[in-house]
């Protein structure tokens, strides 16, 4: 199977490369920080997208590139739309012409967080522009005429190149403060390891090779519910650091509105391609220790 991966220089994209490299004919693309085997591709340019797909003729496209920072999305909607909506439209059209399956990564932020857990057929109601743009991308893909599977995932962590690459690992920065620091204890999140997501998508690829047709929407999520304050305390314990200066903040965070709890029900994917999920407490210390003073 020939597989095209977008966003392959990012946290999630690198996990896909690790999972598929060597076993499949792979073409990995990114926009910045591109080192072999990742090749540069500007997804905002339809001509570049079309030319690559026509040349490589992938059978599976895994679209992991996105603008994922809610506050950036809120303040720069045109740039957000270019990557989260237009790029999806270009890829879906190219996938349709090539007869490729498009697995399009999306987010739990398409939900408002008021009625968890969310099944794959739950009605989206995003609270911020990040969620709105990702939902618009989902619709563009699903209405393109291509064979599409939207895969929604929550907050991600894994082997980072810097702590700020993940909204989970950056929490460790709170432990470097020398004064009382308020940490969000309002929103409940489900930290999910990128390598687990990659294993799930590998299972999806295996189904395709067996001639199975994928559901239009799937969910994948870690099972452990934590606020950022709780994650900070787990990180402190794992790294042997003090967290006495951290204060639980039980009010919604400033900036783009966030949902309080948009837990994804991933029981459908678990039946199709079961994954033994990593335990947050066992993984996080080794990931952040190299970056802490």
> Which residues carry out catalysis?
130
Sign of CA dihedral 285, 290, 292, 293: positive
Partners of 104 in beta bridges: 63, 150
How many angstroms separate the CA atoms of 74 and 204, rounded? 33
Q: Give the torsion sign (CA, 219, 223, 229, 234).
A: negative
What is d(CA 225, CA 205) in angstroms, rounded to the nearest whole number?
A: 28
Residue in this structure with the two tokens 């999520």, named with its chain if needed: 221
The answer to whether the CB of 193 falls within 8 A of the CB of 154 is no
On whether the CB atoms of residues 198 and 15 are closer than 8 A, the answer is yes
Q: Within 10 Å of residue 14's Cβ, how many Cβ atoms? A: 26
């Amino acid at each position: 199977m020939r597989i095209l991966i977008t966003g392959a220089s990012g946290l999630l994209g690198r996990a896909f490369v690790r999972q598929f490299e060597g076993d499949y004919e792979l073409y990995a693309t990114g926009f910045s920080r591109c080192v072999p085997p990742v090749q540069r591709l500007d997804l905002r340019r339809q001509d570049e997208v079309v030319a690559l797909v026509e040349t490589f003729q992938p059978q599976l496209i895994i679209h992991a590139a996105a603008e994922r920072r809610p506050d950036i999305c809120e303040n720069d909607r045109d740039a957000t739309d270019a990557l989260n909506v237009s790029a999806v439209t270009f890829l879906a059209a190219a996938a349709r012409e090539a007869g490729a399956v498009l697995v399009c990564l999306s987010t739990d932020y398409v939900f408002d967080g008021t009625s968890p857990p969310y099944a794959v057929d739950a009605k989206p109601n995003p609270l911020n522009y990040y969620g709105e743009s990702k939902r618009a991308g989902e619709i563009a893909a699903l209405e393109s005429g291509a064979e599409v599977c939207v895969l929604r995932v929550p907050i991600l962590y894994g082997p980072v190149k810097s702590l700020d690459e993940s909204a989970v690992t950056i929490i460790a920065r709170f432990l470097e403060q020398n004064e009382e620091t308020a940490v969000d204890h309002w929103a409940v999140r489900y930290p999910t390891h990128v390598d687990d997501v990659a294993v799930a998508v590998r299972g999806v690829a295996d189904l395709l090779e067996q001639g199975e047709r994928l559901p239009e929407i799937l969910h994948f999520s870690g099972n452990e519910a934590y606020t950022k304050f709780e994650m900070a305390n787990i990180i402190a314990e794992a790294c042997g650091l003090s967290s006495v200066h951290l204060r639980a903040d039980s009010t919604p965070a400033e900036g783009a509105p966030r949902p309080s709890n948009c837990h994804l029900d991933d029981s459908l994917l678990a039946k199709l391609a079961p994954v033994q999920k990593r335990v947050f407490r066992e993984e996080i210390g080794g990931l952040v220790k190299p970056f802490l003073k």
